[in-house]
Structure 1
Amino acid sequence: MRHIEVVEVGPRDGLQNEKTVLRPQIRAELCERLVSAGVRRIEAASFVNEDLVPQMAGAEEVFSSLVREPGVLYCGLVLNERGYERALGAGVDEVRYALPVTESFARRNQNTTVEEALDLALHLVERARLDGVRISVTLSVAFGCPFEGTVPQERVVELAREVAAAGPDELVLADTIGVAAPAQVRALLGEVLGLGPVVGCHFHNTRNTGYANALAAVEAGVSVLDSSIGGVGGCPFAPGATGNIATEDLAYLLQRMGYETGLDLERLISCAGWLSVHLGRELPGQLYRAGAFARAAG
């Protein structure tokens, strides 16, 4: 049975767009609940400007509050070298750097240019090797940009090739605003798979294609997918970039398709319900409301 690794991004990408700001200790508890549901890789926080993204304030406190579990990787998102240094100081197991593929998104999201962001990505990969920490590089808005529209596939492939040559542990293609369709996913992966690093995908369900895209990616050969408990999330700097695909919904789909995830559906459902209470609203995910089909449990 083929294993698909599900990387949980709820504590970071999920919460960064929420109106309700959760305390670092609650975000650490969310991580612990996810671990109890079988998650083994969690994007626990982002080391960014807290004035711009107050939902991510106290990243160091999140990491200091974690009860570390053997075999679990706790990741931190960074957007610049200062963030990288903060992440290292906090004790992350993996740095995740976001490289925007369009000039407009680079300027709005990170106040940089694509060329500068690429140079930084290559530099951080080199630093991570020396520092003995894992590093993933995510190509943001790889399937479409909220400001420039369609992104030429050849441009994404060009950037992916340059990043891959530096040797990161993983290269992630992100549909940051949820505009991709399965044919586009298969076409881009056909060019990127095989460049060297492990390739993962990050999908949003903004236009109700996220799960179809995730399945297309798996069938194309991807073995790593990002998702967010309850389907919460979105980018604060990308208009209309609503929720990620929900971890429990993705796990249900993959298990029903015969893939192994190592995730406990009932515990994921319980975790999504717990998060719904803390956020004071119903979450976009559907499984935590409908319940798992008995034959798919476990």
Structure 2
Amino acid sequence: MGNTDSIPVVSQTKSFVQWVGGNAEGALVTQKNFAYKNTFPVISQIASAGYAIGGEPGKALDLQKKFADDLDDVIDSIPVAGHVKGGLHYALGDNKKGDEAMKSASRSTGVALGGIGGLAVGGPVGAVSGGIAGGAAMDGIITGSAKLINGKKAKPHGYVAMGHDLASAIKGETKITAKQGLHMALVPVSDGLAGYSAAKIAAKPLGLKVPNGEKPGISNVVSKGYRPIVGHELAAKMKNPASNNLAKGNRVGSLESPMNNRGNLVQPKKSLEPFSSDRGKGTGSEMKTIDNHAPIPILKLK
């Protein structure tokens, strides 16, 4: 919520990039914005409380107004809710805010649908890629629609706008600032995470499956009882290639039958041999074996 100066970690990363780039003053301004003009939830309220306690109620109120404006933007970006909000703005004659809400909500819808479609095709990685692709597709649709309605006055949107900025920078017409560069890097990251989150929420109710027929995620590995090869097991596998599951196509380094030998104790493949054809003779004990396990002494009764 808010701009990049308000987001923990992101703000500090931005300051570091500015400082490394020789813009120490800009780095300081970014951190001042984070500390005193932060509209991120909780942090914003703490800062406003500090202003109020320090005898600056005006600054406290201004910060909460900015927080409310940013919250308004967040609502715009929620599919359906943003569309409803945009319709209300249109009904009230505020076409500018109506357009902003509709564009934001439509773009978020594209990211979510792209993530869900990507999950069905390529699992979690597909969901991330689909989210980015969905956002880019909606940016193209929004930009194209704006050009049809407003002609040359239309402004490019999202990835299209970033493409224009990069092209201008390559030609030497403009320069990409640290703030712009960070924004360009964060947009696809944000789209990918949003697409994955939407797909994760929708996967269970929609019953989505990846191409190999298994449900997405890593839960299928756990449910099958796979476990990593560790310790003496790994050493044994390396010494005995014939029994190496990796050579048999188990690429995730797991044992398909981790309880092979132990399982034979419960359901032995070989039946136990009788003690002797003559049970009544002999004393002492004999050594018998069960499959690969160590010899087990078996006493004979007189």
Q: Does the TM-score normalized on the shorter chain lie above 0.5?
A: no
Q: TM-score, normalised by structure 2?
A: 0.28
**Higher Rg of the two aligned structures:** 2
Name the one with the larger strand percent: 1
1 or 2 for the larger relative contact order (CA 8 Å, sep ≥6)? 1
Q: TM-score, normalised by structure 1?
A: 0.29
